[in-house]
Amino acid sequence: MKIIQERQSSRVPFDPKRPVPKDYLKQILEATRWAPTAHNMQNFEIIVVDDKVALEKIGNIKSRISEEFLRENYEQLSFSKEELLKKKTGILGSMFPPAWIDPAKISEAARQATPMPLTQSIRGSPTLLIMIYDSRKRAPASAGDVLGFMSLGCVMENIWLMAQALEVSLQILSSFASPHVEAELKKHLEIPEYMKIAYTCRLGYPTTANKTLRVRRDIEDFVHHNQIGNKNL
């Protein structure tokens, strides 16, 4: 429970000169083996990238922010610590540029946004775990492969909890799965066309403190006893 409660997304720069020890990496990968997956499909492959040249090539790939992301991101924001503590969901708007948190400026911000190299996302990480899956397969009777994606989420959680237990910081990078970035990564990493990128784990050791206000709903806010609306557990 302590590890679960202390786990968090580390959005600060990592020390590129401090690699993740190989035995730690093997323990993290061992944890993925035991993640629950639908029908025990084990529907994933993992590309470990820790070569400096390979990281540099990936870092040079450019990603562009979309208006869709900015608008949906805005809906999850709080604009003060007090508001976030009251809502108990979402994140602080202070983490983002001013144009990203003004609805009147979002369209313009998306149009004028300069494509940014992935180095801005990697932020010194010495190790990336790129999670890929076979798009030709799916869990039985799972429209849209919902169960398959849930399985990939279970793998993510195992990775994160083991990393936390080993005091290795982690952040999930969803931008690696965007169409343009994925296409470029497939070229660099020789990923077959039928394989898709689900997400990437950025691992390492922070160079600065990771001070993020973390909030969660109370049990009474989301648990219903025997029927919806009965909160008296």
Rounded distance, CA 114 to CA 55, Å? 21
Task: Encode pLDDT of 130-185 as tens digits.
Answer: 999 999 989 999 988 999 999 999 999 999 999 999 999 999 999 999 999 999 99
Domain that holds residue 81: 65-114
Are 57 and 69 in a shared domain?
A: no
Tell me the pLDDT band of 233, cut-offs 50, 70 and 90. confident
List the one residue out of 29, 25, 57 whose CA is nearest residue 45.
Answer: 29
d(CA 74, CA 87): 14
Does residue 224 sit within a domain? no
Q: Kindly indicate the confidence band of residue 36, based on its pLDDT and cuts at 50, 70 and 90.
A: very high
Residues 34 and 57 in one domain: yes
Measured between alpha carbons, how far is 144 from 62 in angstroms, rounded to an integer?
Answer: 29
How far apart are the C-alpha atoms of 135 and 86, rounded to whole Å?
40
Task: Please give the full DSSP string across 177-188, using - where no structure is assigned.
Answer: GSHHHHHHHHHH
Question: Is there a single domain that holds both residue 8 and residue 103?
Answer: no
For position 201, what pLDDT does the model report? 98
* Closest C-alpha to 136, from 200, 43, 42: 43
Q: Is residue 226 part of a domain?
A: no
pLDDT at 55: 97
Please indicate, yes or no, whether residues 56 and 139 belong to a single structural domain of this protein.
Answer: yes
Average pLDDT, the chain: 95
Regarding whether 56 and 138 lie in a shared domain, the answer is: yes
The pLDDT score that the predictor gives to residue 212 is 84
pLDDT for the residue 69: 92
- CATH number of the domain encompassing residue 160: 3.40.109.10
Residues 6+ away with beta carbon under 8 Å from 141: none
